Chain A
Amino acid sequence: MFTSLRRVIKTGWRGFRRNIGLSLATILIMVMVISLATLLFLLSPVSDILITDIKEKVDISVYFKEDVLSEDILEVETEILKIPEVKDVEYVSKEQALEKFIERHKDDPVLMESLTEVGANPFLASLNIRAWEVSQYEQVTNFLETSPFRSLIDKVDYHQRKPVIDKVFSMVSGFYKIGIFFSIVFAVVAVLIAFNTIRIAIYNSGEEISIMRLVGASNWFVRGPFLIQGIIIGFIAALITLLISFGLCYGFDNKIKAIAPEISIYSIFVSNFFLLFLIQLATGIGLGVISSYVAVRKYLKI
């Protein structure tokens, strides 16, 4: 048993070395397939970060009537914070609202001028409320509109914002679905290409496999070396892909950060290093072994 295994491994390694050209070509294809798996793996946290980021930016504001005191508003804030759906609440006083407006529009002379013409501070004090989930805003709004302190409220801008919120989220979920669809299509295409490459590589040995059967080798003794070659090819391809993905994540980290500061592709890579390598190995070796197994089977029927 042990002798057989040793021979199978030796023969597999010899086959890999002797057909080095074909082996390298197969490794190259396999690197592409594993890269795709890596890309899908790395994109998943990136898209999560982007979606969370968009979600974080969504909030609703409750505007209070002109004459409501800030103590009352802070009391309402305490009440709102008791609602389980609410994540956090931020109080923006009339003055802060004005400051924010000036800060944002200081380069726009028309707006600044109209502000001067109005004279007094035209802004209302408000509470910016963020819920845990976008779908919870409706409930929060309902609560506010039916609460005992509704008389203090001038307006809740949820209804105004709802179409925008809905649109953004239908787009996000649309992109997500398209992403999943293309991921599956690419993955299937990649697997088929890898499988076919190995099949063609083994096609060359088809006659040899049949002769092995005819001289009395068992199926496993025939198949073993091809499975070993599949493992070697998958392993080397996974290692190469790991190095390439490390290089790319390291090299592009700053460039991506410049566009999206909250995404660090390099730290995603580092914190998922072992899982990622495991996925790469599983993709490479799994594809190599399964493709070899299926491709050899055809020639064993003698």
Chain B
Amino acid sequence: MLSINNITKLYPSRTGNAPTIALDNVSFKINGKEFVSIVGKSGAGKTTLLKLILAEEKPSKGQIFFDDLNIHEIKRSQLPKLRQRIGTVFQDYKLFPSKTTYENVAYIMEAMGASEQEIKRDVPQILEIVGLLNRADNFPNELSGGEKQRAAIARALIHRPDIILADEPFGNLDPYHTFDIIKLLIKIYELGTTVILATHDKEVINSLGKRVITLDSGKVIRDEERGRFIL
């Protein structure tokens, strides 16, 4: 389903120094319906990897295939179709500041052309699941950090994407909500969605007992089927 082939990402230095290596010749495959955790210290390259999968950035070298599609070679006008197959929970939430929680979650369904009925049926449902139904009419600046994160998760799930990319989705959650969200992610995975979870939350990883890819300084140093958080 997702094939990362020899990906290298360099960020050129503006001061003329050597470029920063964010990812160094990274390769791995994710076959359909997997729950994969990507772990590593801050700056190991987790977020860069997710940005490359979302085609937010281009690799310096290598290719990423989504099914048979080389995602960095498709036309810009085709990108929305690809991105609609991916649900992303951004590390910094990236909620629309001028839209309410409800509108934030409904947006992608609207963009995909879902009917009003579907939107009215699904959005309250997902908001209830993430515990934000009573915050539906609030704007992001009226939400707490944890609520924003849950809103971001709801937005990533609402359109039933093929892949969920979750970048540190527990960063601002208390243990109670973290547990709920993990349960939710596992449930989504069990229903047939691939989940790629980038985190440095040791407890979460160890409790999952799923595939773990460990990144260190931009390189894959470990890729285990039932991995644990080891750095």
Contact = CB atoms under 8 A, between A and B. Distances in A.
B80 A216 contact: yes
Nearest to B112: A216
Contacts of A258: none
A214 B83 contact: yes
B111 A215 contact: yes
A228 to B, nearest CB: 14
Interface in A237-258: none
A294 B54 CA distance: 25
A78 interface: no
A19 B155 CA distance: 24
A4 interface: yes
B86 A216 contact: yes
A20 to B, nearest CB: 12
Nearest to B94: A211
Contact of B98 (A3, A19, A215, A217): A19
B97 interface: yes
Contacts of B113: 3-4
Contacts of B77: 218-219
A110 interface: no
Contacts of A211: 94-96
Contacts of A302: 56
Interface residues of A, number: 20
Nearest to A18: B98
A221 B111 contact: yes
Interface residues of A, dominant DSSP: helix
B97 A215 contact: no
Contact of A3 (B56, B82, B115): B115
Contacts of A19: 98
A208 B80 contact: no
Nearest to B87: A215
A218 B94 contact: no
Contacts of B81: 216
B88 interface: yes
B108 interface: yes
Contacts of B90: 214
Contacts of B115: 3
A15 interface: yes
Interface string B110-125: 1111011000000000
B54 A214 contact: yes
Contacts of A136: none
A44 interface: no
A139 interface: no
Contacts of A3: 113, 115-116
A177 interface: no
Nearest to B110: A7
A234 to B, nearest CB: 21
Nearest to B114: A3
Contacts of B102: none
Contacts of A215: 83, 88, 107-108, 111, 155
Contact of A217 (B80, B88, B95): B80
B84 interface: yes
Nearest to A300: B76
A217 B54 contact: no
Given A3-B113, A7-B110, A214 B56 contact: yes
Contacts of A213: 79-80, 83
A215 B115 CA distance: 18
Most-contacted residue by chain B among A18, A211, A213 (CB, 10 A): A211
Interface in B48-99: 54, 56, 77, 79-84, 86, 88, 90, 94-98
Interface string A10-37: 0000010011000000000000000000
Contacts of B98: 15, 18-19, 205, 208
A245 B68 CA distance: 62
Contacts of A15: 98
A246 to B, nearest CB: 36
Contacts of B80: 213, 216-219, 221
Given A205-B98, A212-B107, A216-B86, 14 more contacts: A3-B113, A3-B116, A15-B98, A213-B83, A214-B56, A214-B90, A215-B88, A216-B81, A216-B82, A216-B83, A217-B107, A217-B111, A219-B80, A221-B111
22 contacts: A3-B113, A15-B98, A18-B98, A19-B98, A207-B94, A208-B98, A212-B111, A213-B80, A214-B54, A214-B56, A214-B90, A215-B83, A215-B107, A215-B155, A216-B80, A216-B86, A216-B111, A216-B112, A217-B107, A218-B77, A218-B111, A219-B77
User: What are the 10 tightest A-B residue pairs by CB atom distance, in nearest-first order?
Assistant: A216-B83, A216-B84, A217-B111, A218-B80, A211-B94, A216-B80, A221-B111, A215-B108, A7-B110, A208-B96
